Amino acid sequence: MIVNFHKMQALGNDFVIVEHHYSEQKLFTKESIMAISHRLYGVGCDQMAMFYRENCFVHASFFNNDGGEAEICGNASRCLGKLMKRFYGMLRFTIVATGKDYDVQVNNDDTVSVNIGRPSIDGNSIGLSKKIADPLNISLKHDLQMEGKKFSKWGLNRMACVSVGNPHLVLFLDKMPPIEKVAEMGMVLSLHELFSNGINVSFVKIISDGLMEQSSFERGTGLTMACGSGACATAFLARELGLINGRSVVVRQRGGNLAIEFKEDESVMQTGPASYVFSGSIEL
């Protein structure tokens, strides 16, 4: 099977994007997605996205590089925005993914905005496998039954989880751990039995009311240069917990900055760059 693809990136989070009708997507197995995503034997990417167009709707499916499906991806959604403009002249459209709608707009400055909707702290939407008294105040000791030694060095203040279409666990720290510790601790937390579907993990330091620093470990992928949905989750939780007060904040990540804005209807908008890299084909 020959697969035509586009390679794109947003803040260093890279994607292989394939246009296929839904019926054709069924031809892709977990193994074929892993083969395409492999950085040595395939094209290489953090995630793979497949889509088909239907008027002003873009039906999309997102897959981590371990072949597992993700509900949504903020950075990949912005890449789709840039792709729709480049090849189809579309500046506004709606992504439909796992039954939810996400409005996308390509701006005059060539950045892309994606409205990820209203976040949810409902346990079912997050995928909590047991009842948690308060998703906004998770305890290492009581909820996760983990010792705090590994985290005390960086001053863990609060830990909370939320769904922004996909599930996120956010740790608010006094200082950022080195990236190898983010990888180590992120792996443990993302696979914790508390989270039935796994979870994306972000380590965050609040610098000011309008600026936060974030490093993310994404389930099924690992360390990434940036996480778009994670930035939305972080901003929402920081505001919900009273750690920031404004209606907008910049989330600084290894791959660059993402602007987050809280709309009047309490939905969350992310705005940032996305770039086309190249197109090609691969034989599976």
Q: Which residues contact 147 (CB under 8 A, 6 or more apart)?
A: 140, 141
Check 73, 79, 161, 232 and give the catalytic one: 73
Check 45, 79, 161, 227 and give the catalytic one: 227
* 160, β-bridge pairs: 170
**Cα–Cα dist 45/30, whole Å:** 15
**Cα–Cα dist 186/120, whole Å:** 22
**Cα–Cα dist 18/228, whole Å:** 20
| Structure token pair of residue 258 | 């993402």
The reply to whether 227 belongs to the active site is yes
CA distances (Å), 178 to each of 181, 182, 280, in order? 5, 7, 36
Burial class (CB in 10 A: 0-12, 13-18, 19+), 167: buried
| Structure token pair of residue 169 | 């666990």
The reply to whether 73 belongs to the active site is yes
* Residues noted as catalytic: 73, 227
